[in-house]
């Protein structure tokens, strides 16, 4: 059965759509069967494509985010997805307020780095740094998933 993962950040225009696209590409490379989506805890950007500078940084590394559109999280996401992967503690708290906390995991928990959250490039302007961390987290997540599916 396909494993379903929802990536969550604040705006759903920088970190979580990048996490979705990067994880999708890496899962395909590994032949892993996953269903992926992303959403934001905020409602400001509903219906919009990922932020231009984020798309540009991702495109440089071969990830196309252009078809993605922002949506807001819903309580039903806890039914639709097996795992909800958040970018920071604020996202975790917002999700834990609408569903079971044990379904919610920090993306950085899947890496061996000491970083405890994915800094928001919308504010830091470090789009390349966010992408590199997201690639690292995605590899760690898929390592975990690969051994689970094996
Ligand atoms: P994200 O970044 O959570 O990584 O999508 C943000 C983008 C926009 C806003 C907040 C976070 N905003 O407040 O507009």
Q: Among residues 77, 88, 120, 136, which one is catalytic?
A: 120
Closest-CA residue, ligand 1 atom 11, reads 11
Ligand 1 pocket list (CB less than 6 A): 9-15, 44, 120, 122
Written as tens digits, the pLDDT of the chain (150 aa) is 799 999 999 999 999 999 999 999 999 999 999 999 999 999 999 999 999 999 999 999 999 999 999 999 999 999 999 999 999 999 999 999 999 999 999 999 999 888 999 999 999 999 999 999 999 999 999 999 988 765
Specify the residue for token string 């400001």: 44
Give the pLDDT of residue 96: 96
Burial status of residue 66 (CB atoms within 10 A of its CB: 0-12, 13-18, 19 or more): exposed
> For the purposes of burial, counting CB atoms within 10 Å of the CB of 54, is it exposed (0-12), middle (13-18) or buried (19 or more)?
buried
Which SS3 state, helix, strand or coil, does residue 148 take? helix
Pairing of strands 83-86, 3-9: parallel
Q: Give the Å distance between the CA of 147 and the centre of ligand 1.
A: 33
> Which among 15, 77, 88, 136 is annotated as catalytic?
15
Q: Is 144 a catalytic residue?
A: no
Q: What is the largest CA-CA distance in the chain?
A: 40
Give me the pLDDT at residue 112, please: 84
- The residue whose CA is least distant from atom 9 of ligand 1 is 11
What is the distance between the alpha carbons of residues 16 and 78, in angstroms, rounded to a whole number?
Answer: 17
The answer to whether residue 15 is catalytic is yes
Q: Which domains does the chain have, with CATH numbers?
A: 3-149 (3.40.50.2300)
Residue 113 pLDDT: 84
**pLDDT score for 149:** 62
Which of the 8 DSSP states describes residue 99? S
| pTM, entire model | 0.97
What pLDDT, on a 0 to 100 scale, did the predictor assign at position 119? 98
Q: Which of 9, 94, 136, 137 is catalytic?
A: 9
């Amino acid at each position: 059965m396909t494993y379903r993962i929802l990536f969550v950040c604040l705006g759903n225009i920088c970190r979580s759509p990048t996490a979705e696209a990067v994880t999708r590409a890496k899962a395909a490379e590994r032949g892993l069967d996953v269903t992926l989506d992303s959403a934001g805890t905020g409602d400001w950007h509903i219906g919009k494509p990922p932020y231009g500078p984020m798309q540009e940084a991702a495109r440089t590394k071969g990830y196309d985010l252009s078809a993605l559109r922002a949506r807001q999280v819903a309580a039903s996401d806890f039914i639709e997805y097996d795992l909800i992967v958040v970018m920071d503690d604020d996202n975790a708290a917002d999700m834990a307020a609408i569903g079971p906390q044990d379904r919610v995991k920090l993306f950085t928990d899947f890496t061996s780095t000491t970083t405890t959250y994915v800094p928001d490039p919308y504010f830091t302007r470090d789009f390349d740094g966010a992408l590199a961390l997201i690639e690292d987290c995605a590899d760690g997540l898929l390592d975990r998933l690969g051994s689970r599916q094996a």
